[in-house]
């Protein structure tokens, strides 16, 4: 692999002679002449405005960070081949930031291969005969990966011949002629995300694993092999729900399929929320869209007609766990990252998505309920239980809402960002963030240095209540939980979440760790989908500041402190930061800006939410102490295990 070139190879002709037209000085201190007009090359535009093509850049701590979008764009092409019944295996390797994806589809036509990966608005997806219901439609995805990679190599094998080409930041560096090949047909793509754009990035296996497993659910019969791990599904969305279940469902999973649609549905007893997984043409639409809205409406309408009762929609859908996948010809997404469907029709000549779902539920789902009376009875019982619980809570909820509304006018706990200041129901945006802080001093430091446009701050008062094992009633009765729920706007649905990132920011000491644990317990107990959907993070703040007269280093661990001491020479000044409030506000800007260190809270596949809560927050103190002694790694010399065990 060639060494990464730190200087951008994109050519810009600065030698053209242009006679500027004199303009009247407007007094603004700047001029606007022909010199200000530039035409960007395709790759320069992508590199200059990456957010238009991959959403946020990020460092790999969130599932929607740019490096995963790059990976997804390449895999999507291989998935499209499988969906066209071409190739049943995809091989992926991720090592030290380098990614290789190999499929066994038809291969890119050799004569057009270079254009297909480096010329905008060029690709096979414009031909609906070659790709009838594909994910990539705009001829952009692979080009974005090419332009945003320091190293990009593609090889296509087709009809006994192969073609290869190598690029750097979108610029062709080497092209090989078409030559005979004995390799299996298909396409191999290698790329390294450019560290000039993706600062300190790393691929997290948990997030890659979740992405690839969903690809397997959506494409039964496809084998995906990544770093030696195989992802495969025989039963599609039924397997997805079965793996997501953390308790016995109230009735067997309903699995329905027809042309262009697949649905899996069940209800659980302990969940307080609606949980959905939605997909279009194999693309995980994590923000839903018209198809998910149609699904929810059609479900309610069919259930009401089947039981001949006008149930509340919230009672029908409470505690539901469902997955829905549809195939749409020429889908319209609301952004290049394809996380929300905007199409209103199934295709240019097809029915509306809404009527398509209504017809499907009216026949297929209604027939299923008639043929399975035990399931129909279980659903009815669940609706009646939800109705009873809602009515029981209605008085408390009303008082809690009124209290939250009054307090919100002068809410000292919430310092909102300008995105939401005048609109309490504003939809979350990609970069919106709320910090949940410990006490007034910490919230003051963050508030004075935050980005007021996109970052909000919610201040806790001391340690929150341990809500393990408590009912949802406590959320409304506890003022702090009620105000936090109102600030996040998640009472009814996670779709209304007002911030894309919810960050717990506590002190780097035992009390701070305890508060962090109590807040995670709150979200796990009542709003687990906030975690499942990748919205909850822990803010990493430095433990030490090491500095001399020339340089200041912030160290997040004991090994970093040792390295700083060695590199900064004799007798540098060392400061141990115990609490966030002790960090000067002027310094805090380094820790919550674009390079802030975040640790995502990720639910693994080995334990259910109930098992996690029972072990860490239950009454099994001896088992928990043993676990801490065996697993606690203390890098901070100022903290020992005895102090940690006291809590």
- SS3 assignment for 144-210: HHHHCEEEEEEEEEECCEEEEEEEECCEEEEECCCEECCCCCEEEEEEEECCCCCCCCCCCHHHHHH
Q: Which residue has the higher pLDDT, 267 or 334?
A: 267
For 151-201, the pLDDT digits (tens) are 999 999 999 999 999 999 999 999 999 999 999 999 999 999 999 999 889
Q: Establish whether domains 51-231 and 237-389 are of one fold.
A: no
Half-sphere exposure of 253 (CA within 13 A, CB side): 22
How confident is the prediction for the chain on average, in pLDDT?
81
Q: What percent of the chain has pLDDT over 90?
A: 36
CATH class belonging to 416-541+577-601? alpha beta
pLDDT higher than threshold 80 for residue 568: yes
Q: How confident is the model at residue 645 (pLDDT cuts 50, 70, 90)?
A: very low
pLDDT higher than threshold 90 for residue 267: yes
For 358-382, the pLDDT digits (tens) are 999 999 999 999 999 999 999 999 9
pLDDT score recorded for residue 11 = 39
pLDDT score recorded for residue 416 = 85
Q: What is the mean predicted confidence (pLDDT) over 317-338? A: 82
pLDDT score recorded for residue 244 = 84
Q: Which residue has the higher pLDDT, 123 or 531?
A: 531
pLDDT score recorded for residue 534 = 85
Q: Which residue has the higher pLDDT, 395 or 486?
A: 486
pLDDT score recorded for residue 2 = 42
Domain ranges of the chain: 51-231, 237-389, 416-541+577-601
CATH number listed for the domain at residues 51-231: 3.30.565.10
Q: What is the mean predicted confidence (pLDDT) over 559-567? A: 91
CB 361, CB 301: distance < 8 Å: yes
Q: What is the mean predicted confidence (pLDDT) over 609-623? A: 70
Q: What is the mean predicted confidence (pLDDT) over 267-289? A: 83
Q: Which residue has the higher pLDDT, 37 or 560?
A: 560
CB 282, CB 217: distance < 8 Å: no
Q: What percent of the chain has pLDDT over 70?
A: 80
Residue with tokens 């839903």: 288
| Least confident span in 20-29, 171-180, 187-196, 586-595 | 20-29
Half-sphere exposure of 388 (CA within 13 A, CB side): 6
pLDDT score recorded for residue 36 = 67
Residue with tokens 């998935």: 79
CB 457, CB 486: distance < 8 Å: no
CATH number listed for the domain at residues 237-389: 3.30.230.10
* Of the ranges 270-274, 295-299, 410-414, 488-492, the best mean pLDDT one: 295-299
Task: Please give the DSSP secondary-structure letter assigned to residue 581.
Answer: G
Centre a 10 Å sphere on the Cβ of residue 567 and count the other Cβ atoms it contains.
Answer: 11
């Amino acid at each position: 692999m060639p060494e990464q070139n730190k200087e951008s190879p994109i050519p810009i002709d600065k030698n053209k002679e242009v006679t500027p037209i004199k303009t009247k000085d407007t007094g603004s201190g700047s001029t606007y002449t022909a010199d200000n007009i530039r035409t960007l090359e395709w790759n320069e535009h992508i590199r200059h405005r990456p957010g238009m093509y991959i959403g946020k850049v990020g460092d790999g701590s969130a599932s929607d960070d740019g490096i995963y979008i790059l990976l997804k764009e390449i895999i999507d092409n291989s998935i499209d081949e499988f969906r066209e019944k071409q190739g049943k295996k995809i091989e992926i390797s991720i090592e030290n930031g380098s990614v290789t994806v190999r499929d066994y589809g038809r291969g890119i036509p050799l004569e057009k291969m270079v254009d297909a990966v480096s010329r905008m608005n060029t690709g096979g997806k414009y031909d609906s005969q070659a790709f009838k219901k594909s994910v990539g439609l705009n001829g952009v995805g692979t080009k974005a990966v090419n332009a945003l990679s320091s190293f990009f190599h593609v090889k296509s094998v087709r009809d006994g011949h192969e073609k290869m080409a190598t690029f750097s930041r979108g610029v062709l560096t080497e092209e090989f002629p078409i030559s005979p090949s004995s390799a299996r047909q298909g396409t191999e793509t290698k790329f390294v995300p450019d560290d000039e754009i993706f600062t300190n990035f790393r691929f997290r296996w948990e997030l890659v694993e979740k992405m690839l497993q969903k690809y397997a659910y959506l494409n039964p019969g496809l084998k995906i092999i990544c770093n030696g791990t195989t992802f495969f599904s025989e039963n599609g969305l039924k397997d997805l729900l079965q793996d997501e279940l953390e308790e016995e469902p109230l009735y067997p999973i309903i699995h329905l399929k027809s042309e262009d649609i697949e649905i899996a549905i069940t209800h659980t007893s302990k969940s307080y929320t609606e949980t959905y997984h939605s997909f279009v043409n194999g693309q995980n639409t994590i923000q839903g869209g018209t198809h998910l809205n149609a699904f929810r409406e059609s479900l309610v309408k069919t259930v009401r007609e089947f039981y001949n009762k006008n149930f509340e929609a919230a009672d029908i859908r409470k505690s539901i766990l469902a997955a829905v996948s549809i195939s749409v010809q020429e889908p319209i997404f609301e952004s290049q990252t394809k996380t929300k469907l905007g199409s209103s029709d199934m295709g240019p000549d097809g029915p509306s998505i809404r009527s398509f779902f209504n017809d499907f539920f009216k026949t297929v789902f209604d027939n299923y309920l008639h043929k399975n009376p035990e399931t129909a009875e279980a659903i009815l019982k669940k609706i009646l239980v939800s109705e009873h619980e809602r009515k029981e809570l209605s008085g408390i909820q009303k008082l809690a809402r009124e209290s939250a509304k009054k307090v919100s006018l002068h809410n000292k706990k919430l310092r909102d960002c300008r995105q939401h200041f005048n609109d309490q129901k504003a939809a979350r945006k990609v970069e919106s963030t709320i910090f949940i802080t410990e006490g007034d001093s910490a919230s003051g430091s963050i508030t004075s240095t935050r980005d007021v446009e996109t970052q909000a701050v919610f201040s806790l008062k001391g340690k929150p209540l341990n809500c393990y094992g408590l009912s949802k009633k406590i959320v409304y009765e506890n003022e702090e939980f009620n105000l936090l729920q109102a600030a996040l706007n998640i009472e009814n649905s996670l779709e209304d979440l007002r911030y894309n990132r919810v960050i717990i920011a506590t002190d780097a000491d035992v009390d701070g760790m305890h508060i962090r644990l109590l807040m995670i317990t709150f979200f796990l107990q009542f709003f687990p989908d906030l975690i499942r959907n990748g919205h909850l993070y822990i803010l990493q703040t430095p433990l030490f500041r090491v500095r001399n007269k020339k340089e200041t280093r912030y160290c997040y661990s004991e090994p970093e402190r040792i390295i700083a001491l060695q590199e900064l020479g004799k007798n540098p000044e060392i400061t141990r930061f115990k609490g966030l409030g002790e960090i000067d506000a002027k310094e805090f800007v380094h820790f919550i800006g674009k390079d802030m260190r975040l640790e995502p809270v990720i639910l693994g596949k080995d334990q259910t939410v109930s098992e996690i809560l029972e072990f860490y927050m239950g009454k099994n103190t001896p088992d928990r102490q043993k676990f801490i002694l065996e697993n606690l790694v203390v890098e901070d010399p100022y903290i020992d295990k005895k102090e940690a065990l006291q809590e």
